[in-house]
Amino acid sequence: MSTQQSSPAHGRIGRAFRLAVDVLLGILAGIVLTLIATNLLLFVEAKSVYGTVNSWSYTMKAGKPGHSLLLRALMADQLPATNVAEESVYWLTAKDSTGQKLNGQHDYLMHFPAGGLPPAEAFWSLTMTDAKKALVANPTNRYSVGDRSGLVPNADGSTDIYIQNTAPAGHESNWLPAPTGAFILWLRAYQPGKTVLDGTYQVPPIMEVK
């Protein structure tokens, strides 16, 4: 085949190749833009769904029929298998009372005044995870404390939970072991009481012990 005869064919192949590359780049750009837009929409949705009290985030809007696809996607990502609030309410925090990130290099205290434990008809629990939301290995194999873990109240009826990497002398029954690095706390109340559902119950802040 002569050069004159092959050039048109080569030109057509080159144009087809460039077209295929353009289409592929367009698809990839569309995927990237879709992911960015979706994350922005989920961020905006989270702002409207979550409330905050004493550095704890919570929502009462999950799990009900008719909720938007964005809300369902948000819950699937952050709180999988979330129940309606009448069944369970979840609070989570990665910050102490001053807004500093929780870290096992520091010791913390969660103080419940007398009569101030989470009101729940079934049970409540406070769970520790690391920053990747995985349970924290510890020598006591204790991953949560709550109304079934044998917490010992103070003489005045209040209850303190000690959140730290090493056991607090004399308060081991109220110790929630922390990792050496960053961590997240999850408070759950199952079949929560009226004051939880109407928003009047206030979860105590996590206070660093100096």
Amino acid 36: pLDDT: 66
Over range 45-64, report the average pLDDT: 75
69 with 160, same domain: the answer is yes
Q: Please tell me whether residue 187 adopts helix, strand or coil conformation.
A: strand
CATH number at residue 136: 2.60.120.600
Say if residue 81 is in the same domain as residue 147: yes
pLDDT band at 28 (very low <50, low <70, confident <90, very high): confident
Mean pLDDT of 140-161: 97
For the entire predicted model, the pTM comes to 0.75
> What stretch of H or E contains 194?
helix 194-197
What are the tens digits of pLDDT across the range 105-120? Answer: 999 999 999 999 999 9
- Tokens found for residue 105: 């290099």
Q: Indicate if 142 and 200 belong to the same structural domain.
A: yes
Q: Which of 7-21, 108-122, 147-161 shows the lowest mean pLDDT across its residues? A: 7-21
Q: Is the pLDDT of residue 124 over 80?
A: yes
Q: Give the pLDDT of residue 1.
A: 46
Domain match, 182 and 158 both = yes
Say whether pLDDT at 71 is over 80. no
pLDDT at 59: 81
Cβ atoms of 145 and 180 closer than 8 Å:
no
Looking at the structure, tell me whether residues 7 and 59 fall in a common domain. Answer: no
Render pLDDT for 183-192 as a digit per residue (tens, 0 to 9): 999 999 999 9
Same-domain pairing of 70 and 42: no
Residues 63 and 37 placed together within one structural domain of the fold = no
| pLDDT over 60 (residue 90) | yes
Q: Which residues span the domain enclosing 120?
A: 51-209
**88 and 186 in a common domain:** yes
Rounded to whole angstroms, the Cα distance separating 147 from 145 reads: 7
How far is 73 from 156, CA to CA, in rounded Å?
45
Same domain, 1 and 68: no
Tokens representing 25 are: 């780049």
Phi and psi angles of residue 46, each rounded to the nearest 5 degrees, phi first: -60, -40
110 with 152, same domain: the answer is: yes
Considering the domain architecture, whether residues 104 and 5 belong to the same structural domain is answered as no
Please state whether beta strands 120-130 and 183-192 pair in parallel, antiparallel, or not at all (unpaired): antiparallel
Query: How many independent structural domains does the chain possess?
Result: 2
- In this structure, the answer to whether residues 24 and 78 fall within a common structural domain is no
Say if residue 88's pLDDT is above 50: yes
